[in-house]
Amino acid sequence: MRIDIITVSPELIKSPFEYSILKRAQDKGLAEVHFHNLRDYALNKYNKIDDYQFGGGAGMVLMIEPIDKCISKLKSERDYDEIIYMTPDAPILNQSTANTLSLKENIIVLCGHYKGVDQRVRDLFITKEISIGDYVLSGGELGAAVLCDSVIRLIPGVLGDETSALTDSFQDDLLSPPVYTRPASYKGADVPEILLSGNFPKIDEWRSEQAYERTKQIKPELLDE
């Protein structure tokens, strides 16, 4: 899978891709991530990429022309399955979206900044808009990193143990059951007996019950879906 990230702050978003699972995915050749600095597509020598909004109002708006130039260049080189815009006024990322995107071949992720982008960018180029939550970040970069992490770890072969993504929270619309490791007893707090029993059918049953109870308590809306 190839991901092209368009941003005004490449330095802000690069580091999450240099560690752990995201790095391993790239080292294994399963994910290819490219960063494009929107300023390289600026209109003039002053690196102009944003301007005041028509009609007045605070905040600068990213202009359509540099974004068009960048997206058009990428599209001339290969076909894209999705051109995604990170913005708070969009449907919120969930596991189902991450699953779907992990099966794509090429995607572009456009990070917003300041007041956002000229609406015509959204109307003309964007195929999917994603928010990472109902709060406003300073730009789309952190959201793009969250999106890419959730997607890349699902690409087949990225996680060493194939089952570990399948048992993540949300994969079957349930939160994960609690997990424990050594020591079995710590300052009077004991690991549930059943996990030490070696009775694996019973352990599976206990985990399913716990997953259901946790979901009912913390995210009951998942059970309605």
- Contact footprint for ligand ADE (CB under 6 A): 86-88, 112, 131-133, 135-137, 139-140, 143
Q: In whole angstroms, how far apart are CA 25 and each of 11, 18, 103, 142?
A: 20, 10, 14, 19
SS3 96: helix
Residue 22, CB-side half-sphere exposure with 13 Å CA sphere: 17
Closest distance to ligand ADE from the beta carbon of 104 (Å): 19
Closest distance to ligand ADE from the beta carbon of 68 (Å): 20
Q: Which is nearer to ligand ADE, 4 or 158 (CB)?
A: 4
Q: Which is nearer to ligand ADE, 87 or 215 (CB)?
A: 87
Q: Which is nearer to ligand ADE, 147 or 159 (CB)?
A: 147
Residues 36, 42, 47: CA angle, nearest 5 degrees: 110
Closest distance to ligand ADE from the beta carbon of 148 (Å): 12
- Phi, psi values for residue 164, rounded to 5°: -70, -30
Q: Which is nearer to ligand ADE, 137 or 175 (CB)?
A: 137
Q: Which of 45, 39, 33 is nearest to 9 (CA)?
A: 39
Closest distance to ligand ADE from the beta carbon of 92 (Å): 8
